[in-house]
Amino acid sequence: MRKIGVLTSGGDAPGMNAAIRAIVRTSLNNDIKIIGFRNGYEGLIDNDYVVFDRRLVGNIIQRGGSILHTSRSSRFLHKKYRLIAEDNLRSLGIDGLVIIGGEGSTKGAIALSKISKTKCVVVPATIDKDMPLVGSTIGFDTAINTALTAIDKIRDTATTANVTHIVEVMGRNCGWLGILAGIGAGAEVTIIPEIKINIPKLSQKIKDQLNKGKKGCIIILAEGGFSKGGASLASALKEEGSFDLRITTLGHMQRGGNPSAVDRVLATELGVYAVLSLKDGFSNVIVAKPLASLDKIEFDKVLNTKVKVDMYLHDIIENTA
């Protein structure tokens, strides 16, 4: 392994810079040249890159975002552009490529590996934690803490003004962010994509909480938990229950901010492991920490497995509301 490339792809996640730093420094410490492609797979197509040295990744471990920037490349879906990317990799002498990203980024790595001899390893980074088998993903812990900070502030005003608040968090297809935010915030109700909701029952539950003396309730809504969105849910509940409701959508603030200690450590561990895995000849794997030890999981095995939320956590919410 003489030269490695690295890119960040898809939705940004806090901790990506920590992973880049680990990848760059581990490469250089093993006498491997390292270059970074800007704007994800778009950078591969456009041959837009930077040659890294140790100085370029100094003082970035604590920064949110990605110094390489990121994109969702529609061009990379087409083989003719992947062939251009492969030609660029070959011309630059890239032996291995580290892709920092989520499910879509992994699909891109699979597509590239079918036409390229460059070894590919994925470092899982997504605030949604929607990649099965890999354990936590870079950015998830920070996103949870960002959400909780906001929800705590909303709880203060909800209690003071006796108003129920819907707080919409990310999680279009997976409820991990919503369910852990619900537990951490002590939410009265948590709505996730995995559980179908019943508006009349939900309305009655809120009424019961208020009748018990609750000074306003917190409803956590993962964005995929109600297909019509938070505003429509608020309207439906108002019509059904005749109580005052407010809605706050946290949106992209969950992607930003300094990464937590957990994410900095995880990103560093996975970044180092990605380089060492390439050096040892591995390809088409996601480096992961599913339990207490590092592991490598084949791309197809991850993508062909249905992601599951630990549903007992939802029972905890129900029993502690």
Question: Which residue carries 């309207």 as its tokens?
Answer: 235
Tens of pLDDT, residues 95-151: 999 999 999 999 999 999 999 999 999 999 999 999 999 999 999 999 999 999 999
CA distances from 227 to 106, 139, 233, 240 (A): 26, 25, 9, 18
Residue 109 pLDDT: 96
Q: Is the pLDDT of residue 321 over 60?
A: no
Quick one: average pLDDT of 72-78?
A: 93
Mean pLDDT of the chain: 93
Please state, as a whole number, how many other Cβ atoms lie within 10 Å of the Cβ of residue 80. 8
Partners of 6 in beta bridges: 36, 98
Dist CA 194 CA 311 (whole Å):
9
State percent of the chain over pLDDT 90.
77
Please state, as a whole number, how many other Cβ atoms lie within 10 Å of the Cβ of residue 193. 18
CA distances from 122 to 6, 148, 190, 193 (A): 10, 29, 32, 26
Quick one: average pLDDT of 9-38?
A: 96
Q: Is the pLDDT of residue 292 over 70?
A: no
Residue 229 pLDDT: 80
Length in residues, the chain: 321
Tens of pLDDT, residues 165-221: 999 999 988 999 999 999 999 999 999 999 988 999 999 998 888 888 888 899 999
Question: Which of 12, 95, 128, 130 is an active site residue?
Answer: 128
- Is 130 annotated in the active site? no
313 pLDDT band, cuts 50/70/90, is confident
Question: Which residue carries 């837009």 as its tokens?
Answer: 48
146 within 8 A of 252, measured Cβ to Cβ? no
In the chain, the domains with their CATH numbers are 3-139+259-303 (3.40.50.450), 141-255 (3.40.50.460)
Residue 239 pLDDT: 81
Residue 320 pLDDT: 60
Dist CA 203 CA 192 (whole Å):
16
What is the b/e burial string over 35-56, where b = at least 16 CB atoms within 10 angstroms of the residue's CB?
bbbbbbbbbbbbeebeebeeee
Residue 295 pLDDT: 86
Tens of pLDDT, residues 29-46: 999 999 999 999 999 999
Dist CA 108 CA 42 (whole Å):
11
Q: Is the pLDDT of residue 252 over 70?
A: yes
Strands (DSSP E) found in the chain: 3-8, 33-37, 49-51, 96-101, 119-124, 164-169, 189-191, 218-222, 245-249, 285-288, 295-298
Q: Is the pLDDT of residue 308 over 90?
A: no
